[in-house]
Amino acid sequence: AQSVTQLGSHVSVSEGALVLLRCNYSSSVPPYLFWYVQYPNQGLQLLLKYTTGATLVKGINGFEAEFKKSETSFHLTKPSAHMSDAAEYFCAVSDLGGGSQGNLIFGKGTKLSVKP
């Protein structure tokens, strides 16, 4: 079975500060990992994904994440927060690596607040 744990339901940073959102996963097969962002009253937008290959992946809006197999982590970072980054962020794992159907298992989300 697969699962995702997002540490911290709410993270607050100052504008221009480093953003670090933590995600740990559990998977019995090579994981496909995703980060999504959700703005109020909207659906989910894909920020970035890890499938195979390079463990440091870059996404949209200056975000990046590093897959660390030994730590079963896929933390999301951005060097300098912007007010427009305030939203809820979801980490997700897929079982596609094991040849399954590829549905997503989501964490509970981390709400990011950015202070001026």
Partner 1 sequence: ETGVTQSPTHLIKTRGQQVTLRCSSQSGHNTVSWYQQALGQGPQFIFQYYREEENGRGNFPPRFSGLQFPNYSSELNVNALELDDSALYLCASSLLQGRDGYTFGSGTRLTVV
Query: What is the binding site for partner 1 (CB under 8 A)?
Result: 4, 32, 34, 36, 41-46, 49, 51, 90, 92, 94, 96, 100-109
CB of 44 to partner 1, least distance (A): 4
CB of 81 to partner 1, least distance (A): 22
CB of 116 to partner 1, least distance (A): 26
Q: Which is nearer to partner 1, 52 or 84 (CB)?
A: 52
Report how far residue 9's alpha carbon sits from residue 78's, in angstroms, rounded to the nearest whole number. Answer: 18
Contacts of 48 (CB under 8 A, 6+ apart): 34, 35, 57, 58, 59, 60, 63, 64, 65, 76
Q: Which is nearer to partner 1, 36 or 63 (CB)?
A: 36
One-letter amino acid at 20 equals: L
CB of 17 to partner 1, least distance (A): 25
Q: Which of 19, 4, 12 has its CA nearest to residue 77?
A: 19
Q: Which is nearer to partner 1, 51 or 72 (CB)?
A: 51
